[in-house]
Amino acid sequence: MKLTKLTALAATTALCAPMAIAADMANEMTIVSWGGAYQESQLKAYVVPYQEMHPDLKVIWDESSAEATAKMRAMTEAGNVTWDLVDVVASDAMRMCDEGLAAELDHDEVLAAAPDGTPASEDFGELIVSDCFVPQIVYSTTFGYRMDKVGDTPPSSICDIFDTAKYPGKRALQKRPIDNVEWALYCDGVAKDEIYDVLSTDEGVERALTKLDSIKDQVVWWTAGAETPQLLADGEVVMGSTFNGRLFSAIAEQNQPIDMLWDMQSFDLDGWIVPADLPEDRKARVMDFLKFATDTQRLADQAKFISYGPARASSAPLVGKHAILGIDMAPHMPTDPANAGNVHVYDYEWWADNRDDLDAKFQAWLAK
């Protein structure tokens, strides 16, 4: 997908499932998400208002989205899928759809239309990257840094991450190859439009890992998005990657001495999958909730609590101010022109095809 398309759609698109007609809906639902500020935004924007309509419903949270594919494989193999609705990145949704772990959906049949009647498939547009995927937000992985630890010239380029002489101290990086290998190749001189061609070769992967070797002994590896903001707040790292909404929370809500480095922020999509072959009562509940939680107003409501762009076009004009702080949220979105001067458009299709192989190589490199 071209950047112009993603940028135009970023503060747009989502999906909705039709209110279930089934007479019996389960009164318990397990939702899998990422924890932290993001999960809290889902709770406030979707779950609380839905439970007000259905007071007998018990919602159980599981913060395992980072391991969703592996756990779904294991549960499916064991014949005991305990999850009802799973929040995943687009590439994981594509993998689970290809493997039959996620249910295929007719988006116009199961999701709410826009207020003007525009079908969900058009409102979400190109962000529907899989028949199993219900887009929710456009976000980015980017860097935060401690303002009091970078001297008079704060970092302005992603490649400053690799400059330990100018910016000494620990860095926090996510414990996975995604984003890290792209940034490494970019800072090793590979043009943005050639990154995935280079990564498609063994030599390219080795080149990326060699670049990462240059800072490996200065890296604190994280697996949960809340870790980097805490590491920055505690002064344990000078800079670190995480999701832009987590940094917004630390800066705007917690007043931490942190600023953001938007250069080469990595755009990505996040949304829902429904596990395949759920029992009918659980499926009825999930589809009822999904239609509610991904309608135009609900996706706009989520942007009141975290700086992620809603994934359906009709939601964008409804994004307003932070629910508590009262500040305009638009300038804090990754798609704001001031933040999107040089972005990396994450290729979820490439990663869906290559994730298992790169994960194995990355873990072997970490173990050296």
Alpha-carbon dihedral 247, 249, 252, 255, rounded to 10 degrees = -90
Kindly report, residue by residue over 179-206, the tens digit of the pLDDT: 999 999 999 999 999 999 999 999 999 9
Kindly report, residue by residue over 281-316, the tens digit of the pLDDT: 999 999 999 999 999 999 999 999 999 989 999 998
CB atoms closer than 10 angstroms to residue 170:
17
185's enclosing H/E stretch is: helix 180-186
| Confidence check: pLDDT of 123 > 50 | yes
Structure confidence at residue 149 as a pLDDT band (50, 70, 90): very high
Joined tokens for residue 152:
């008079």
The phi and psi torsions of 261 (rounded to 5 degrees) equal -110, 105
pLDDT number for residue 23 = 47
What is the percent of the chain where pLDDT is above 90? 80
pLDDT number for residue 22 = 43
Joined tokens for residue 93:
């949704």
> How is 277-335 classified by DSSP, letter by letter?
T--HHHHHHHHHHHHHHTSHHHHHHHTTTS--EESSGGGGGG--B-TTT--BSGGGSTT
Give pTM, 2 decimals: 0.75
Kindly report, residue by residue over 3-51, the tens digit of the pLDDT: 333 433 333 333 333 343 444 899 999 999 999 889 999 999 999 999 9
- As a whole number, mean pLDDT of residues 315-342 equals 88
